[in-house]
Amino acid sequence: MTDKKVTLKQDDQDRVVELPVTPGTMGPSVIDIRSLYAQTGHFTYDPGFTSTASCTSKITFIDGDAGVLLYRGYPIEQLAEKCDFLEVCYLLLNGDLPNGSEMKGFVTTISQHVMVHEQLIKFYSGFRRDAHPMAVLVGVVGALSAFYHEVMDITCKEDRYISAIRLIAKMPTMVAMCYKYSIGMPFIYPKRKLGYAENFMRMMHGDAGEDYLANPVLVRALDRILILHADHEQNASTSTVRLAGSSGANPYACVAAGIACLWGAAHGGANEAVLNMLEEIGDVSKIGEYVARAKDKNDPFRLMGFGHRVYKNYDPRAKLMRQTCHEVLDELNLNDDRLFKLAMELERIALEDPYFVEKKLYPNVDFYSGIVLRALGIPTEMFTAIFALARSVGWIAQWDEMISDPELKIGRPRQLYKGVTTRDVKSISNR
């Protein structure tokens, strides 16, 4: 334990309160306030948790000012260049990158769990064809809880691990089924011998009536997109998974809660919102009007794909996403893609605008991801489902870390009460 402390003195009291300061291996230290209420009778107040560390974690580190993102200490730029998504899944789950034999074993294990129960598939037919894929995904992933009763003892390390494997392995199958169901096409079952991203592309774009040959450049691009979205510290959806898991809820139900949270336009829903925004702007000549609206306090419009709670510098994932955008559009001879050109012009104008400069608003991971996904033939309403597919490994790794944490307590925040003070009920004739 550190001997560093902070001292708190309330103006109308002589007594001071000392609170320990605990350093991390990187990033800000924390003031341990667990004894604050007992010592002062006060809560802290931090809506949106802008200054609150909710847990200890060893998985992902972000330096928002420097635009740094590390998974288990490895820079995202190096992982995106040198690894594939399943290697990153292994890293997030186990704490280090696999060697050759570990990777072979992991890939084999994942491949053994890519199928979903035939009864689970019946859940899709309960939805309208035009149901939003995230609504379907919340339902189907939550329904997984009903299929693995015999291996859901969360105190058992092996049960936790097989739950993680099942989620990582089945998410591509379930997400692709959301798409096929929405267009009335037969489901394409996964092939165990295909790579993770290639399998997903085949389940999304394959046709039951003929063989599907995936473009390796596009497969690699999708695999990189999954890496960029795999985990991101204690964001809203990960915090949702942790809070749900702190009560002892099973991992599938917790991930379903995370999917529900990710759906919001301020979070994972932003990639879909970016595409809709670019379509609405339509032309470079309209950019000024929309930038002005984004700056107008009386206009609820925000520049989707811009800004971040933590990054006050360029989101390193956005840089990699823009590079992936170039590669994919090059491969598909779509370099004059109008939305990509519109996005780059919008970025240029916004980054020169004092409002965005002063508020340190930069493009985030969602700004370019929609353009790449659209070029990969993925419909806009599926974008956030792809984000959920990628983030499932981060959610389950963070959930597992929390369940294994000796400091685990059920999450139960308090509040600042501003309601009516105590009063007596009058009989209805006297109200």
- What is the helix (H) or strand (E) element at residue 70, kind and residue range? strand 68-71
149 included as an active-site residue: no
Active-site position among 231, 308, 315, 353: 308
Provide, rounded to whole angstroms, the least separation between the CB of residue 369 and ligand SDX: 10
Q: Which residues of 93-111 are buried (b: 16+ CB within 10 A; e: fewer)?
A: beeebbeeeebeebbeebb
Backbone angles phi, psi at 92, to 5 degrees: -65, -40
Identify the CA nearest to 222 among candidates 241, 199, 193: 199
Backbone angles phi, psi at 30, to 5 degrees: -125, 150
Residues in the chain: 431
Provide, rounded to whole angstroms, the least separation between the CB of residue 337 and ligand SDX: 21
Stretch that binds ligand SDX, among 37-45, 162-170, 303-311, 377-385 (CB under 6 A): 303-311
Nearer to ligand SDX, 223 or 366 (CB): 366
Site for ligand SDX in 193-252 (CB under 6 A): 232, 235
> CB nearest ligand SDX: which residue?
307
267 binds ligand SDX (CB under 6 A): yes
Tokens of 393: 């490994």
Nearer to ligand SDX, 202 or 229 (CB): 229
Instruction: Indicate the pairing of strand 30-31 with strand 16-22.
Output: antiparallel
Residue with tokens 């079952």: 189
What gap in Å lies between CA 301 and CA 292, rounded to an integer? 10
Site for ligand SDX in 3-62 (CB under 6 A): 48
Instruction: Single out the residue of 87, 366, 400, 401 in contact with ligand SDX (rule: CB under 6 A).
Output: 366
Instruction: Single out the residue of 308, 319, 322, 374 in contact with ligand SDX (rule: CB under 6 A).
Output: 308
Stretch that binds ligand SDX, among 69-77, 136-144, 252-260, 305-313 (CB under 6 A): 305-313
Nearer to ligand SDX, 189 or 311 (CB): 311
**R_g over Cα of the chain:** 24
366 included as an active-site residue: yes
Structure letter (DSSP) for residue 150: G
Please write down the HEC assignment for all residues of 11-23: CCCCCEEEEEEEC
CB 120 within 8 A of CB 173: no
Provide, rounded to whole angstroms, the least separation between the CB of residue 80 and ligand SDX: 14
Nearer to ligand SDX, 175 or 294 (CB): 294
Provide, rounded to whole angstroms, the least separation between the CB of residue 42 and ligand SDX: 24
| Burial class, 270, CB count within 10 angstroms (exposed 0-12 / middle 13-18 / buried 19+) | buried
258 binds ligand SDX (CB under 6 A): no
CB 390 within 8 A of CB 197: no
Q: Which residues of 344-376 are buried (b: 16+ CB within 10 A; e: fewer)?
A: bebbeebeebeebeeeebbbbbbbbbbbbbbbb
Nearer to ligand SDX, 152 or 310 (CB): 310
Q: 48: left (phi > 0), else alpha (psi -120 to 50), else beta?
A: left
Provide, rounded to whole angstroms, the least separation between the CB of residue 384 and ligand SDX: 10
Instruction: Single out the residue of 76, 343, 365, 385 in contact with ligand SDX (rule: CB under 6 A).
Output: 365
Tokens of 407: 């400091």
Structure letter (DSSP) for residue 185: P
Contact pattern from residue 271 through residue 300 relative to ligand SDX, giving x for each residue in contact according to CB under 6 A and a dash for the rest:
-----------------------x------
Active-site position among 84, 223, 353, 366: 366
Stretch that binds ligand SDX, among 108-116, 151-159, 186-194, 265-273 (CB under 6 A): 265-273
DSSP-derived secondary structure for 233-296: SS-HHHHHHHHHHTTT--HHHHHHHHHHHHTSTTTTTHHHHHHHHHHHH-SGGGHHHHHHHHH-
Nearer to ligand SDX, 79 or 270 (CB): 270
Nearer to ligand SDX, 202 or 374 (CB): 374
Provide, rounded to whole angstroms, the least separation between the CB of residue 81 and ligand SDX: 19
Stretch that binds ligand SDX, among 7-15, 87-95, 278-286, 307-315 (CB under 6 A): 307-315
Instruction: Single out the residue of 181, 306, 383, 395 in contact with ligand SDX (rule: CB under 6 A).
Output: 306
322 binds ligand SDX (CB under 6 A): no
Active site residues: 308, 366
Residues near ligand SDX (CB under 6 A) = 48, 232, 235, 266-268, 270, 294, 302-310, 359, 361, 364-366
